[in-house]
Amino acid sequence: MPIAGTADADARARLMELARGRGVSLSALSALIGRNAAYLQQFVRKGSPRKLEENDRRTLAMFFGVDEAQLGAPEAAGGAGPAAHAPATRNPWVDIPRLALGASAGPGALAGDEQAQDRLRFSQRWLRTLGLDPAHLSVIEVAGDSMEPTLRDGDEILVDRSIGPWRDGIHVVRIDDVLLVKRLEQGAAGTVRVISDNPAYANTDRARQDVVVVGRVVWKGGRI
């Protein structure tokens, strides 16, 4: 039986191997499990924490489609038998972190630390059909009515935070250190048109460098 220190090191090495094979960063994986950007970097490089927490380990194992034992889960009694070496079955679901800080569709909310308060579960297959990588996704709640009827106060939105070509559509943005969800369109001469779908709110034109795109809104859900 390997000693605990060896098993912990094996789990860290395996996580790095899986991340490299998938082409995803440790900071993105930290976001996937609702941790700060340096969390898994510290786990791999410094051994802190010594072991992954059960929920974090399970989420990572589901994302990579491997058995939790590869990431440090204790093997069941009699684990040396054939069942212990059976190929892992990819979990059809993935848990996406739901951030405590919402994006305002009204007067705006100051952008502070984004810490996950819980998770929403999505189908891996459905996400793949949309070309989405779970490591770059998060869920936040809409606050305010400036995007009605498209988005209503209290709706949940799935935000793709991957870096890609900017295009027109609904995005979560930071403008003047305020987090907003707005429709964006390319403007003239290096400007961006920031649009509220609710006609009661005025639209504005901003310099491109003043609009920091946090992510693109790819799905919404809410109460009936």
What is the CA angle 88-89-91, rounded to 5?
A: 125
Domain ranges of the chain: 4-91, 94-221
4-91 and 94-221: same fold?
no
What is the rounded distance in angstroms from the CA atom of residue 86 to the CA atom of residue 121?
A: 26
pTM above 0.85, yes or no: no
Q: Which of 151, 53, 144, 141 is nearest to 97 (CA)?
A: 141
pLDDT in tens, 96-125: 888 766 666 655 555 544 556 678 889 988
pLDDT in tens, 5-52: 567 788 899 999 988 887 788 888 887 787 888 899 999 998 888 889
Contact (CB, 8 A) for 182 and 195 = yes
Name the DSSP class of 18. Answer: H
Name which residue leads in pLDDT, 63 or 150.
Answer: 150
The enclosing H or E element of 178 equals strand 178-186
Is the bond preceding residue 199 a cis peptide, omega within 30 degrees? no
**Residue 85 scores a pLDDT above 60:** no
pLDDT in tens, 130-146: 899 888 898 998 988 99
Q: Which of 176, 148, 167 is nearest to 218 (CA)?
A: 167
What is the rounded distance in angstroms from the CA atom of residue 180 to the CA atom of residue 216?
A: 12
| Whole-number pLDDT of residue 78 | 41
Distances (CA, A) of 132 to 140, 159, 196, 211, 216: 17, 10, 26, 23, 11
**Residue 3 scores a pLDDT above 60:** no
The amino acid present at 13, given as its one-letter code, is A
| Whole-number pLDDT of residue 20 | 86
Pick the CATH number of 94-221 from 2.10.109.10, 2.40.440.10, 3.40.50.1000, 3.40.630.40: 2.10.109.10
| Whole-number pLDDT of residue 119 | 84
| Whole-number pLDDT of residue 102 | 62
pLDDT in tens, 155-181: 999 999 887 777 899 999 989 888 899
User: What is the mean pLDDT of the segment spanning 76-98?
Assistant: 58
The CATH number of 4-91 is: 1.10.260.40
Contact (CB, 8 A) for 75 and 69 = yes
DSSP string, 28-95: HHHHHTT--TTHHHHHHHH--SSS--HHHHHHHHHHHT--GGGGTPPPPTTTTSGGGGSPPPPPSEEE
| Whole-number pLDDT of residue 106 | 58
